[in-house]
């Protein structure tokens, strides 16, 4: 069942030199996993190593994810896959299969004449039925029930996963090396769901040294994600080595918490001099005004330039911001990942209820998006709902709310669409001409300017055709000429959304 893929690079995993063949042979099952699982034919996704399918255990009905190696992989990549299986089994054993760590269940290896190496390797993993943590948070924000208390609960569960990895069995630490929201998941869709950390492809083992409690691991190859990486991890030292340690993971946890509370990254997104300089000095963007002081304090401590000054996972779990949300009445409530509505007879924690309002009358984001129309994704729509709340205040009615031109400019800035000729765009999107934008006018308009199409080109042209005579710059460019030019480059209209000098440059070359 191995599937071909255009991805040619092998998973970043331990090198074959570190591979313990004896340990692998002790855990590998030498048969096709289809003998033990009913594997669904539709793939869940593809990666550099293989294709992932959903399966159901014939023994106990457990739903799992089966990652089948690509047929084209060479022996080096297959050795890396074997080494990764050994590593994941070690993580399970040394952390006692901690509930906040994604579960490695088994590895299979069996003959496959279509494969380049003559065999297929299959990793069987826990299926994260609840999806990604980021998607779940955005959904709760869209429903209006997310709060710092729930953020603290979710983050505390991620801290538990870090504590389990860093303390392990007392003989050393597993350093994840790629802590980020993309690697955080929700166990399932039940009321008992919880956050888990997964994807251990870059994880390394650092043996314990009683004489050096801050022992690190160094290598020349950078591993991780630049926007989440600690200074010593991102920026190589004078000998060309990057440094990894539990403290580096904790910096990444600080970035994760900043993202959860601010719905934005603390540092520039793209890897380059600006990101490196900001990370080197821990000069992050400003906090949202709604973030509490003690939450800021925890983030500042986690984003300490000095690795020895960052709190450990165990210390972070004792921080006042975490303790308030995980001890007492709030800790005893149902899971933050499946909140009941007041109409369903459940209890919404005091403080969140005021933010949420009447959940049953607001409806779900998906229902509202279908009602309002437009080509936005659910994630984009949830983001806009959140930013509208920041501008219009909590409790606004999305179906009747209207934006002034000043409020429109503020919303556009918050969703990172800046530099627009906003006054003209406002008038173009104000289809009924009442001097205000309804939310449906806003969502339809944003979907028009974010999709490469003739519709967007027409909208952009109308922004610059201030007098409505069908041409711009004294007749230099007509609408027909503009559409013809944009037709040669459908993304040119996106460039036109930037300040006027770009448009003048286009006119000069049209």
Q: Which residue has the tokens 């074959």?
A: 16
Nearest CA to 108 out of 125, 92, 118, 122 is that of: 122
Cα-Cα-Cα-Cα torsion 64, 70, 74, 80, nearest 10 degrees, comes to -20
Q: What are the counts of helices (DSSP H) followed by strands (DSSP E) for the chain?
A: 21, 16
Residue 103 assigned to a binding site: no
Q: 354 and 146 in contact (C-beta within 8 Å)? A: no
d(CA 288, CA 113): 57
Phi, psi of 374 (to 5 degrees): 100, 170
| Residues 482, 485, 490, 494, CA torsion sign | negative
d(CA 1, CA 288): 49
Phi, psi of 255 (to 5 degrees): -65, -40
Which tokens is 371 given?
Answer: 């009602």
Which tokens is 349 given?
Answer: 């924690």
Work out the number of other CB atoms within 10 angstroms of the CB of residue 400. Answer: 8
d(CA 49, CA 495): 37
d(CA 320, CA 295): 9
The three-class DSSP label of residue 408 is: helix
Strand-strand pairing, 172-175 and 204-207: antiparallel
Annotated binding site for ATP: 67
Annotated binding site: 67
């Amino acid at each position: 069942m191995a599937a071909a893929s255009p991805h040619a690079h092998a998973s970043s995993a331990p090198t074959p030199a570190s591979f313990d063949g004896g340990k692998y042979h002790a855990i590998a099952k030498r048969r096709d996993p289809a003998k033990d699982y009913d594997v669904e034919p539709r793939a869940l996704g593809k990666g550099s190593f293989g294709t992932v399918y959903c399966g159901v255990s014939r023994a106990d009905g457990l739903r799992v994810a089966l990652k089948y190696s690509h047929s084209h992989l060479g022996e080096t990549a297959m050795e890396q896959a074997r080494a990764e299986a050994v590593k994941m089994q070690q993580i399970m054993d040394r952390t006692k299969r901690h509930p906040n760590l994604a579960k490695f269940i088994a590895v299979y290896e069996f003959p496959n004449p279509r494969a380049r190496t003559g065999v297929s390797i299959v990793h069987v993993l826990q299926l994260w039925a609840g999806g990604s943590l980021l998607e779940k948070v955005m959904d709760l924000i869209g429903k209006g029930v997310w709060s710092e208390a729930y953020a603290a609960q979710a983050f505390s569960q991620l801290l538990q996963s870090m504590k389990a990895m860093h303390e392990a069995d007392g003989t050393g630490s597993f350093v994840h090396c790629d802590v980020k929201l993309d690697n955080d998941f929700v166990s399932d869709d039940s009321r008992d769901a919880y956050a888990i950390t997964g994807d251990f492809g870059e994880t390394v083992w650092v043996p314990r040294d009683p004489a050096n409690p801050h022992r690190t691991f160094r290598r020349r190859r950078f591993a991780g994600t630049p926007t989440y990486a600690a200074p010593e991890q991102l920026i190589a030292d004078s000998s060309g080595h990057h440094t990894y340690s539990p403290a580096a993971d904790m910096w990444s946890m600080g970035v994760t918490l900043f993202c959860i509370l601010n719905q934005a990254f603390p540092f520039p997104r793209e890897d380059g001099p600006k990101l490196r300089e900001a990370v080197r000095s821990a000069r992050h963007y400003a906090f949202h005004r709604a973030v509490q002081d003690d939450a800021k304090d925890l983030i500042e401590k986690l984003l300490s330039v000095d690795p020895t000054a960052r709190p450990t996972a165990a210390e972070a779990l004792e921080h006042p911001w975490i303790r308030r949300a995980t001890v007492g009445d709030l800790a005893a409530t149902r899971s933050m990942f499946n909140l009941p509505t007041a109409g369903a007879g459940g209890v919404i924690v005091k403080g969140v209820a005021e933010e949420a309002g009447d959940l049953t009358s607001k409806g779900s984001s998906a229902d509202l998006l279908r009602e309002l129309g437009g080509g936005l994704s659910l994630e984009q729509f949830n983001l806009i709902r959140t930013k509208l709340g920041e501008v219009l205040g909590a409790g606004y009615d999305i179906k009747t709310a209207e934006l002034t031109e000043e409020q429109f400019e503020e919303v556009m800035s918050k969703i990172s669409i800046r530099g627009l000729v906003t006054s003209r765009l406002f008038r173009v999107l104000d289809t009924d001409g009442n001097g205000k934008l309804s939310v449906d006018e806003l969502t339809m308009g944003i979907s028009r300017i974010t999709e490469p199409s003739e519709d967007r080109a027409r909208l952009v042209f109308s922004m610059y055709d201030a007098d409505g005579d069908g041409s711009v710059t004294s007749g230099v460019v007509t609408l027909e000429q503009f559409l013809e030019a944009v037709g040669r480059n459908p993304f040119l209209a996106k460039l036109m959304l930037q300040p006027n000098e770009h448009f003048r440059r286009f006119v000069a070359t049209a």
